C-alpha cells in the first residue's frame, strides 16, 4: 500500500502517531494510499522547524526570494502534466481540468516573482522639520495553510507563494483526501532552492488543525473549506490571537435576463455547473431564469446534458469524473432524489445508470427549486444544477442578496445598463458579466462575502501580500546637532 507521510525540514518524514487515513481512487472506489495523520507532537516538530528557519529566510534578500519563485515557476511549468496527473488520480477530475487548475495556481507563483516591487513601502520626506516618515512591510513568522480537497494544487499555491515571498515560513495541512500533490510541490520548492525548513507539510485531520490553531508560534492561518469549518477556524484562531482568513462554501447564482443569448447562457450554465463534477466553490449551482425565457433555457440546458461524457479521468475524452468519496456521492444523490418530494421538478436524474465502481454520478437538473427547499438552500457540491424561476432582474437580485452565501455570481444579458446595476447592487464578492466562473486573476484577490469568508482579507494578490505582512511605520530624524533642544509637549509637525 502506498504511504503518504509528512514533509518536514526538506525531507519526507514518516508519521509516528499510529493513525492513518484512507486515500481512495475515486474512479474505482478502492483505496490507493494510506496517509499518515499527524499527532500534536508531529505538528509541534514542523512548527519548531519552521520557526528555526524564519530568521535566515526573512533576512534573505528580495532578489534571492524572487529568484526562488522564478525557479519554482519554471519547475511547475515543466512538470504541469505530472502534477495534473497526480491530482487527477486522487481527486478524480479529468486531465484537462487538472491542467487548468495547475495553470491557475501557477499564476500565483508568477505574481509572487514580483515581490521586490510588492513589498515597497511609502516614504514621506520632511514630515516635520528634519523628520522623515516611512512604512515597511515585514513578514509575520510561521504561518499555516489548511486546504480543501477540491483544488489540491491551486489552493496551496494561493497561499504559500505570497507567504514565502514575503519572508514567512510555512506549515501546510492539505486535505487528507488527496494529499500527494502537496508533497510533489514541496519537492519542487526544494529543487527551486528554498532552504530546508522554510516550507513544511503535516498531513492530518482535526488533531493537526486544532494544534495549529492553538500553537503559540503560529502567527496566522489561511483556510479554505466548508463554511462550518471556516467559521470554527476563524473563531478559534482569532480567539488565540492569530490573524485568520477563512474562506467557506458557496451557492453561486447565475441570473439570466430575457435579452441574453440563450445558447451562450446554456453553454455557460452547463460548463459551470457540471465541470469538475460540480465540486468547485465557484460552480454555478442555481440558474435564476427570467419567466419570459425560462422554458426555452431549461430545454436548451436539458438538451446539452446527454452529450456530457462521464467516466474515469484516465480514459481520454471524458469530461466529468467521479466525486471525491462514496459518502459524498451518497449525500449528493440524496439531494437529487429528495427534490421531487420537496416540490421541485427533477428534469434530469443523474443518479441512475452510473458506473458500478467508483463514486460516479451523472449530471442532474432540477427545475422549480425555491428557498426553503434543501436542494436550493444547501451547498450540494456535486453535479446538480437547480433552476429557480424569477420574474426578472429585481426578483433575481433579491434572491441572490438574501442568500447566506456571497462567493460568486454571474449575470447573462446584452443590456450593459442592467449589468452595471448588477455589479453595483449585488452582495457577492466575485461577479461575472457573461462570465460564469469569475475567479479573479492573480493580481486581484479572491474572496466572497457573507458566509463565504470569515476575516477581513481576501486571498492572494494584493490582499494576500497584506495578509502575510505587518506594517511598521518609522519616524526618523537625523538632526542637525545645532537645533537640538528639550520639548516636553506631544510631538507636532513643525
Ligand atoms: P472541509 O471543510 O471538509 O475541509 C477543509 C479542511 O479542513 C481540510 O484540510 C480538513 O482536513 C479540515 N477539516 C475538516 N473538518 C475539520 C474539523 N472538524 N476541524 C478542523 N479541521 C477540519 O472542506 P472540503 O470538503 O475539503 O472542501 C469542500 C468545501 O470547500 C466546499 O464547501 C467548498 O465550497 C469549499 N471551498 C471554498 C473555496 C473558497 O475559495 N471559498 C475554495 C474551495 C473550496
Q: Do 255 and 389 form a contact (C-beta atoms < 8 A)?
A: no
334: closest CA among 326, 394, 183?
A: 326
Considering the domain architecture, whether residues 265 and 240 belong to the same structural domain is answered as: no
- The Cα 305–Cα 216 span in angstroms is 51
Find the 185 Cα to ligand 1 centroid distance in Å: 20
Question: What 3-state DSSP class applies to 283?
Answer: coil
CA dihedral 365, 369, 373, 378 (to 10 degrees): 60
Say yes or no: CB of residue 175 within 6 Å of ligand 1: yes
- The Cα 378–Cα 338 span in angstroms is 13
Say yes or no: CB of residue 213 within 6 Å of ligand 1: no
Active-site hit among 113, 166, 281, 375: 281
Q: Is residue 272 part of a domain?
A: yes
Considering the domain architecture, whether residues 109 and 152 belong to the same structural domain is answered as: yes
Q: Do 47 and 142 form a contact (C-beta atoms < 8 A)?
A: yes
Q: Which secondary structure element, helix H or strand E, spans residue 462, and what is its range?
A: helix 461-467
Active site residue 281: yes
The pLDDT confidence band at residue 479, using thresholds 50, 70 and 90, is confident
Q: Please state the rounded mean pLDDT for residues 388-405.
A: 98
Considering the domain architecture, whether residues 105 and 213 belong to the same structural domain is answered as: yes
DSSP state of 440: P
Considering the domain architecture, whether residues 392 and 469 belong to the same structural domain is answered as: no
Say yes or no: CB of residue 245 within 6 Å of ligand 1: no
Question: What 3-state DSSP class applies to 210?
Answer: helix
Q: How high is the pLDDT of residue 23?
A: 98
- The Cα 270–Cα 285 span in angstroms is 10
Q: Please state the rounded mean pLDDT for residues 52-68.
A: 98
- 105: domain CATH number is 3.40.605.10
Q: Is residue 140 part of a domain?
A: yes
- The Cα 66–Cα 232 span in angstroms is 34
Domain range holding 176?
2-248+452-474
Q: Is residue 151 part of a domain?
A: yes
Say yes or no: CB of residue 151 within 6 Å of ligand 1: yes
pLDDT per residue as tens digits for the range 144-177: 999 999 999 999 999 999 999 999 999 999 999 9
Question: What 3-state DSSP class applies to 193?
Answer: coil
Q: Whose CA is nearest to atom 32 of ligand 1?
A: 226
Burial of 207 per CB tally in 10 Å (0-12, 13-18, 19+): middle
Q: Please state the rounded mean pLDDT for residues 341-364.
A: 96
CA dihedral 259, 260, 266, 269 (to 10 degrees): -120
Q: Which atom of ligand 1 is nearest to the CA of 151?
A: 43
Q: Please state the rounded mean pLDDT for residues 82-111.
A: 98
The pLDDT confidence band at residue 113, using thresholds 50, 70 and 90, is very high
Q: Is residue 277 part of a domain?
A: yes
- Give every CB contact of residue 477 below 8 A, 6+ residues apart in sequence: 130, 131, 132
Say yes or no: CB of residue 173 within 6 Å of ligand 1: yes
Considering the domain architecture, whether residues 289 and 242 belong to the same structural domain is answered as: no
Sign of CA dihedral 174, 200, 57, 185: negative
- The Cα 182–Cα 466 span in angstroms is 24
Considering the domain architecture, whether residues 239 and 366 belong to the same structural domain is answered as: no
Find the 447 Cα to ligand 1 centroid distance in Å: 15
Question: What 3-state DSSP class applies to 388?
Answer: strand
- Per the DSSP assignment, residues forming a β-bridge with 14 are none
Q: Please state the rounded mean pLDDT for residues 181-205.
A: 99
Q: Is residue 445 part of a domain?
A: no
Q: Do 243 and 219 form a contact (C-beta atoms < 8 A)?
A: yes
430: closest CA among 421, 440, 422, 420?
A: 440
This prediction's pTM: 0.97
Q: How high is the pLDDT of residue 493?
A: 83
Report residue 248: phi and psi, to 5°.
-115, -155
Q: How high is the pLDDT of residue 122?
A: 97
Q: How high is the pLDDT of residue 480?
A: 82
**What is the number of other CB atoms lying within 10 angstroms of the CB of residue 202?**
30
Q: Which three cell numbers stand for residue 208?
A: 493537526
Find the 58 Cα to ligand 1 centroid distance in Å: 30
- List the alpha helices (DSSP H) in 60-191: 62-78, 80-91, 95-112, 115-118, 154-165, 180-191
Considering the domain architecture, whether residues 268 and 205 belong to the same structural domain is answered as: no
Q: Whose CA is nearest to atom 24 of ligand 1?
A: 148
Considering the domain architecture, whether residues 183 and 259 belong to the same structural domain is answered as: no
Report residue 263: phi and psi, to 5°.
-70, -40
Q: Do 385 and 366 form a contact (C-beta atoms < 8 A)?
A: yes
Q: How high is the pLDDT of residue 355?
A: 87
Q: Please state the rounded mean pLDDT for residues 193-219.
A: 99
Q: What total of structural domains would you count in the chain?
A: 2
Question: What 3-state DSSP class applies to 213?
Answer: helix
Considering the domain architecture, whether residues 243 and 257 belong to the same structural domain is answered as: no
- 400: domain CATH number is 3.40.309.10
Arithmetic mean of pLDDT over the chain: 97
Considering the domain architecture, whether residues 200 and 68 belong to the same structural domain is answered as: yes
The pLDDT confidence band at residue 494, using thresholds 50, 70 and 90, is confident
Q: Is residue 446 part of a domain?
A: no
Considering the domain architecture, whether residues 156 and 292 belong to the same structural domain is answered as: no
Among the listed ranges 58-62, 220-224, 304-308, 476-480, which one has the minimum average pLDDT value?
Answer: 476-480
Sign of CA dihedral 407, 410, 411, 416: positive
Q: Please state the rounded mean pLDDT for residues 275-296.
A: 98
Residue to mutate, 148, 204, 277, ligand 1, most ligand atoms under 8 Å from C-beta: 148
Q: How high is the pLDDT of residue 481?
A: 79
Integer angstrom CA distances of residue 442 from 144, 156, 280: 20, 14, 18
Q: How high is the pLDDT of residue 485?
A: 86
Q: Is residue 285 part of a domain?
A: yes
Considering the domain architecture, whether residues 418 and 325 belong to the same structural domain is answered as: yes
DSSP state of 429: S
Question: What 3-state DSSP class applies to 109?
Answer: helix
116: closest CA among 178, 171, 51, 69?
A: 69
Q: Is residue 158 part of a domain?
A: yes
Q: Please state the rounded mean pLDDT for residues 6-28.
A: 98
Amino acid at each position: 500500500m502506498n504511504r503518504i507521510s509528512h514533509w518536514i525540514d526538506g525531507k519526507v518524514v514518516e508519521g509516528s502517531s499510529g493513525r492513518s487515513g484512507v486515500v481512495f481512487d475515486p474512479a474505482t472506489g478502492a483505496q490507493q494510499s494510506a496517509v499518515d495523520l499527524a499527532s500534536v507532537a508531529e505538528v509541534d516538530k514542523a512548527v519548531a522547524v519552521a520557526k528555526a528557519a524564519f530568521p535566515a529566510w526573512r533576512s534573505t534578500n528580495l532578489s534571492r526570494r524572487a529568484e526562488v519563485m522564478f525557479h519554482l515557476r519554471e519547475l511547475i511549468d515543466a512538470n504541469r502534466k505530472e502534477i495534473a496527473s497526480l491530482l487527477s488520480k486522487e481527486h478524480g477530475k479529468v486531465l484537462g481540468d487538472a491542467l487548468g487548475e495547475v495553470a491557475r495556481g501557477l499564476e500565483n507563483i508568477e505574481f509572487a516573482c514580483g515581490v521586490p516591487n510588492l513589498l515597497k513601502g511609502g516614504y514621506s520626506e520632511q514630515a516635520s522639520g528634519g523628520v522623515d516618515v516611512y512604512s515597511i512591510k515585514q513578514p509575520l513568522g510561521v504561518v499555516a495553510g489548511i486546504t480543501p480537497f477540491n483544488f489540491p494544487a491551486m489552493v496551496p499555491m494561493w497561499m504559500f507563494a505570497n507567504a514565502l515571498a514575503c519572508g514567512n515560513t510555512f506549515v501546510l495541512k492539505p486535505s487528507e483526501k488527496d494529499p500527494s500533490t502537496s508533497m510533489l510541490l514541496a519537492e519542487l520548492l526544494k529543487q527551486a532552492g528554498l532552504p530546508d525548513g522554510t516550507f513544511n507539510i503535516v498531513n492530518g485531520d482535526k488533531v493537526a488543525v486544532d494544534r495549529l490553531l492553538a500553537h503559540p508560534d503560529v502567527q496566522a492561518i489561511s483556510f479554505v473549506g466548508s463554511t462550518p469549518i471556516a467559521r470554527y477556524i476563524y473563531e478559534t484562531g482569532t480567539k488565540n490571537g492569530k490573524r485568520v482568513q477563512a474562506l467557506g462554501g458557496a451557492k453561486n447564482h447565475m441570473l439570466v435576463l430575457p435579452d441574453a443569448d440563450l445558447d451562450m447562457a446554456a453553454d455557460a450554465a452547463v460548463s459551470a455547473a457540471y465541470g469538475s463534477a460540480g465540486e468547485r466553490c465557484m460552480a454555478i449551482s442555481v440558474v435564476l431564469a427570467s419567466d419570459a425565457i425560462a422554458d426555452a433555457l431549461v430545454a436548451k440546458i436539458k438538451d446539452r446534458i446527454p452529450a456530457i461524457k462521464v467516466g474515469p479521468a484516465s480514459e481520454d475524452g471524458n469530461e466529468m469524473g467521479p466525486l471525491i468519496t462514496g459518502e459524498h456521492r451518497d449525500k449528493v444523490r440524496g439531494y437529487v432524489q429528495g427534490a421531487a418530494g420537496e416540490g421541485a421538478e427533477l428534469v434530469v436524474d443523474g443518479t441512475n445508470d452510473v458506473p458500478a465502481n467508483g463514486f460516479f454520478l451523472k449530471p442532474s437538473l432540477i427545475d422549480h427549486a425555491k428557498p426553503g427547499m434543501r436542494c436550493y438552500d444547501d451547498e450540494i457540491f456535486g453535479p446538480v444544477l437547480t433552476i429557480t424561476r424569477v420574474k426578472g432582474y429585481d426578483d433575481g437580485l433579491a434572491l441572490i442578496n438574501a442568500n447566506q452565501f456571497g462567493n460568486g455570481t454571474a449575470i447573462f444579458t446584452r443590456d450593459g445598463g442592467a449589468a452595471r446595476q448588477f455589479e453595483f447592487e449585488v452582495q457577492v464578492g466575485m461577479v461575472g458579466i457573461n462570465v460564469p466562473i469569475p475567479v479573479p486573476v492573480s493580481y486581484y484577490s479572491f474572496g466572497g462575502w457573507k458566509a463565504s469568508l470569515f476575516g477581513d482579507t481576501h486571498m492572494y494578490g494584493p490582499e494576500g501580500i497584506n495578509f502575510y505582512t505587518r506594517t511598521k511605520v518609522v519616524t526618523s530624524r537625523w538632526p542637525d546637532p545645532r537645533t537640538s533642544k528639550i520639548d516636553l509637549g506631544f510631538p507636532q509637525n513643525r
